[in-house]
Structure 1
Amino acid sequence: MDLPRRAIPSMAGLLAFEATARYLSFSRAAEDLCLSQGAVSKRVRKLEQVVGVPLLARTRHQVHLTETGEAYLSRVRHLLAELEATTHAVRSEAKGREAIVLAAPLSFSLRWLMPRLRRYRDAHPGLRIDVVTAAENATLEPDSGIDCLVHQGRRQGSDALHLPLFDIDWIAVASPAYRDRHAVRSLSDIGRLVRIEQSDLPGLWQAWLGQSGIELFDNTHSPRVEGLELAIGAAVAGNGIALAPRALVEAELAAHELAAVFEGCEFRDKGYQLSIPIRLAGDRMVSGFADWMSREALAGARTIRAA
């Protein structure tokens, strides 16, 4: 159903309101918009007439947001950012997208994506893939600058498309030298071995041992490192046994820098998922890249199962 024209505020009014709210000053908003102070004030007044309630409270020397104005400002900023992102996407589609920004966990990018990414770049020489490390609370909001997001665990929501990549199968790994030196043969040996703990995943060993019905041994003297990369590095250097996702230590296993110990003992955790915002679902470059990642993940899973 078409909305009456009078119910749709002008872009000029929205921009004037956002700038005034940002600075809490008509004069500074006027400088920002290259308008006169009177013009900015007039545009905000017209917007308030459309909305039907005051958005700004004015005194002789001050301007501040009303309660309604604060709520309205949040929505206006979201809509302006979404409009800007949509316009950018349409413009990029028309002239050909130059880059895709992918945010992903460091270990995923370093160990899974980078060994595969060259093939995609070779097939799409005109498209640049920018990879950044995803913060734990990374989002796909229009102002985030992120086109695709890889994260662990299943996310819900209608504002993005979510494509599962692969589950995380945690396996115990050690250097072949450590394994042989300590005569590691079965899970019953675990109590006399050094377990490398990840400080950011304090319950990982307990969960891994629990699925085999083994209570956690005293880990008071187990070395603690921050993050998967340090845990893998410590294991490669012969400092003990670490837990790592099988899909992310393929290179070390193939090069015999690491060996899987306690074969058959795995702990399946929430896997990696790729999300793209709905607003980019029609972008052929973004959707094509997402499809490629899904195919690579499926092929990798088949390879691991066949190994």
Structure 2
Amino acid sequence: MKRSEIPSLDDLRAFEKTARLGSVRLAADSLALTHGAVSRRITKLSEDLGFKLFEKSGRGLRLTAAGETLNLTLGRFFTELATTVEGLRAANVQQNALVLSCEPSVAMRWLIPRLPNFHSAHPEIALHLSVGGGPVEFRRDRIDLAIRRLDFGLPDAWHVQRLFPERVGPVMSPQLVPAFASGEYVALGSKTRPDAWSHWLSIHSSVPRPTEIRFYDHHFLIVEAAAAGLGVALSPMVLATDDIDRERLIAPAGFDPDGSHYGLIWIGETDLSGKVHDLARWLKAQCKMSFG
């Protein structure tokens, strides 16, 4: 069959809808057409193809053998078409949106609570958040900006602006302060920095040692566990600052810089512009408000 001989898509849709719903009336309602319009389209399709698609069955209709075969093909066709269109729409949205990559704990504990302010200030910018740590696959993942702790090697082609220094200290619920002072506390550490407690305790020799150290997979877990009273978490300040402001957590020993920094990373032009510049400027302002 030549392309010019392929039946009208409107006729095919009317047939497929009727076959799927089992009723011309229901198909008409679904397509926002009249009963007569759907019937005419099915009749025309049958005439164009040269074979019957439906036959009477009592007061209703049933598919002929040829109609069954055509309906199976059309079902696959319309499903694939819908999937393709949806994928293209999603890709178009992705291309027109900004994608910000951020380490999971920082995203959950610090960035996400502030994003409503960004959307209010920049309703014209569609921002997608991607979480990840370490090296960034900018082109593969279509990432525009990334927030990372700068503890890994960066290619020369990457551009970096420092956001704030990493500061670390023990945080706990107010009820655990006496236990922390007496050494009757469980230390909570992250598996991503297994030596952090040993290093901190070696610097703070006057602080009583914990009864044990328990490790969780991520920093955001130990901070939440500390707030629940399960122990004392050695936490980056960025993850605990909001709970400290709300007095859900306290940091009696303060926070010490560990020599590393968080930074904003991108590739391409040295100077940011347009929507990416607006996002970077907003992020730097939020960091200044949180960490001075």
Which TM class, normalised by the smaller chain length?
Answer: 0.5 to 0.7
Return closer, same or farther for 1:151/1:216 CA change in 2, 3 Å cut-off: farther
**Is 2:135 aligned against 1:137?**
yes
Structure 2 residue aligned with 1:118: 116
Describe the SS at the equivalent of 1:298. helix
Partner Cα separation in structure 2 for residue 172 and residue 211 of structure 1: 13
Structure 1 residue aligned with 2:253: 262
Partner Cα separation in structure 2 for residue 171 and residue 232 of structure 1: 11
Partner Cα separation in structure 2 for residue 118 and residue 153 of structure 1: 26
- Cα deviation digits, residues 126-145 of structure 1 (max 9, x gap): 111100111433232x2331
Supply the AA of the counterpart residue of 2:188.
Answer: I
Number of residues paired by the alignment? 198
Return closer, same or farther for 1:291/1:234 CA change in 2, 3 Å cut-off: same
Partner Cα separation in structure 2 for residue 227 and residue 116 of structure 1: 21
Partner Cα separation in structure 1 for residue 262 and residue 213 of structure 2: 28
Describe the SS at the equivalent of 2:162. strand
Contact 2:167 2:257 in 1 (8 A): yes
Contact 2:171 2:240 in 1 (8 A): no
Q: CA deviation at 1:257?
A: 1.7
Return closer, same or farther for 1:280/1:229 CA change in 2, 3 Å cut-off: same
Contact 1:208 1:267 in 2 (8 A): no
- Cα deviation digits, residues 267-300 of structure 1 (max 9, x gap): 4341211111124845411122112212221232
Structure 1 residue aligned with 2:103: 105
- Structure 1 unaligned runs (5+)? 1-91, 303-307
Q: Percent same amino acid at aligned positions?
A: 21
**Is 2:288 aligned against 1:290?**
no
Contact 2:162 2:262 in 1 (8 A): yes
The partner residue of 1:275 within 242, 261, 265 is 265
Partner Cα separation in structure 2 for residue 269 and residue 244 of structure 1: 15
For normalisation by structure 1, the TM-score amounts to: 0.58
Within 5 A, what are the aligned runs for 1:172-211? 172-180=170-178, 182=179, 184-185=180-181, 189-190=182-183, 192-211=184-203
Partner Cα separation in structure 1 for residue 285 and residue 278 of structure 2: 11
The partner residue of 2:226 within 202, 225, 235 is 235
- Cα deviation digits, residues 103-134 of structure 1 (max 9, x gap): 11112112221232222211221111100111
Structure 2 residue aligned with 1:151: 148
For normalisation by structure 2, the TM-score amounts to: 0.60
Larger Cα-atom Rg:
2
Describe the SS at the equivalent of 2:186. coil
Supply the AA of the counterpart residue of 2:177.
Answer: R
Describe the SS at the equivalent of 2:260. strand
Return closer, same or farther for 1:137/1:161 CA change in 2, 3 Å cut-off: closer
Describe the SS at the equivalent of 2:280. helix
- Structure 2 unaligned runs (5+)? 1-91
Partner Cα separation in structure 2 for residue 201 and residue 290 of structure 1: 28
Partner Cα separation in structure 2 for residue 248 and residue 259 of structure 1: 12
Contact 1:197 1:205 in 2 (8 A): yes
Partner Cα separation in structure 2 for residue 147 and residue 229 of structure 1: 25
Describe the SS at the equivalent of 2:129. strand
Root-mean-square deviation over aligned CA pairs:
2.6
